Amino acid sequence: MSSGHSTWPVTMCIYNLPPWLCMKRKYIIMPIIIQGPKQPGNDIDVYLIPLVEDLKLLWKKEGVPVWDEDKQEEFNLRALLFVTINDWLALSNLSGQSNKGYKACTHCMDETESTYLKHCRKVVYMGHRRFILLKAMTHACTVNVYDSTDKKSLRLTRAWYRLRHLVRGKWRERLRRKFKFPCAKQKQGTNLCGYYVCEYCHCLVDQIITTRELDFIRMRDNLITHKEFIAAVQEQLMGFINEQILDPKGEFYYDGNTIHMSLASEIATTTTSKS
């Protein structure tokens, strides 16, 4: 049955309880229940004011005096709001940020890439996932970014932070990123970034083998149409799968029961030499 009535409960969990208890029903508190018949929308903050005031009181240094029945003594209770869990619709009401329209992504915000389809009358987000090539030089704390779309909205700060804390070494606090490299760019509105990354890899590998300097990363001139671009990537990918993964003699072959022969021989040789 469908119903036009909307009720919004607000529940709270005590996270300093053991994991096997904090999600039990008897330890979940429901301080507020917002009756319908309609959803509160942006007016939800009016209903949350009493709860916010109580949380602010519990956050103060002196806290709130509470009686401990187990120890038979009084103590000062303090609390903080650790995290909020809500659906996508309530996120906009609670945060005050729009989650629809041209800037709907709550992470990209003003950098959200969106396009309006006039025939469908809707906004779509096409540029959030793309292939890029990163050439990292950890000794120099520098990464070269080869991006066929030539966009600088690349977030490597978190990855660099984890590397500095997980791998021992003398690292700079900030990662230097270089974007302006002479490489071919794809046409606007196309989704050929994967193919361009493959071509970048071919050129850079050839540079390493021949030790020649690259003045510009070019694309193959014999491929003109988009279908030929995509077919070239598919051909390379299927060739790699057939020769290196499915073929028993391939480097990455694994039948599910035994280790690859060359890998097994390397392990045996290493074990024998160590023993």
Exposed e or buried b for every residue in 37-65, given b needs 16+ CB within 10 A? Answer: eeebeeebeeebeeeeeeeeeeeeeeeee
Query: What CA–CA distance (Å, rounded) separates 138 from 73?
Result: 57
- Give the model's pLDDT for residue 220: 59
- Please work out, in degrees rounded to the nearest 5, the angle formed at the alpha carbon of residue 216 by the alpha carbons of 215 and 222: 135
**What is the radius of gyration, based on Cα positions, of the chain?**
29
Query: What CA–CA distance (Å, rounded) separates 151 from 28?
Result: 46
Q: What is the band of 275 on the pLDDT scale with cuts at 50, 70, 90?
A: very low
Residue (of 108, 150, 111) closest to 133 by Cα position: 150
- Give the model's pLDDT for residue 165: 80
CB proximity list for 251: less than 8 A, separation 6 or greater = 244, 260, 262
Query: What CA–CA distance (Å, rounded) separates 25 from 11?
Result: 11
Tell me, what DSSP letter sits at residue 12?
E
Secondary structure (3-state) at 143: strand
Percentage of residues in the chain with pLDDT exceeding 90?
8
Cβ-based burial of 102 (10 A; exposed 0-12, middle 13-18, buried ≥19): middle
Query: What CA–CA distance (Å, rounded) separates 177 from 199?
Result: 21
Using CA atoms of 46, 48, 49, 54 in order, give the dihedral in degrees to the nearest 10: 170
Distance of CA 122 to the CA centre of its chain: 25
Q: CA quadruple 111, 115, 116, 122: dihedral positive or negative? A: negative
Q: What is the mean pLDDT of residues 219-234?
A: 64
Record the pTM. 0.48
CB proximity list for 57: less than 8 A, separation 6 or greater = 64
Q: Cβ atoms within 10 A of the Cβ of 8, count?
A: 16
Residue 7: φ, ψ to 5°: -125, 130
Mean pLDDT, the chain, whole residue set: 76
More confident residue, 125 or 247: 247
Q: What is the mean pLDDT of residues 12-22?
A: 89
Query: What CA–CA distance (Å, rounded) separates 252 from 261?
Result: 10
More confident residue, 58 or 144: 58
Q: What is the band of 53 on the pLDDT scale with cuts at 50, 70, 90?
A: very high
Tell me the pairing of strands 122-124 and 133-137: unpaired
Q: What is the mean pLDDT of residues 156-183?
A: 75
If residue 73 lies in a helix (H) or strand (E), which one and from where to where? strand 73-77
Distances (CA, A) of 257 to 232, 246, 253, 261: 34, 15, 11, 12
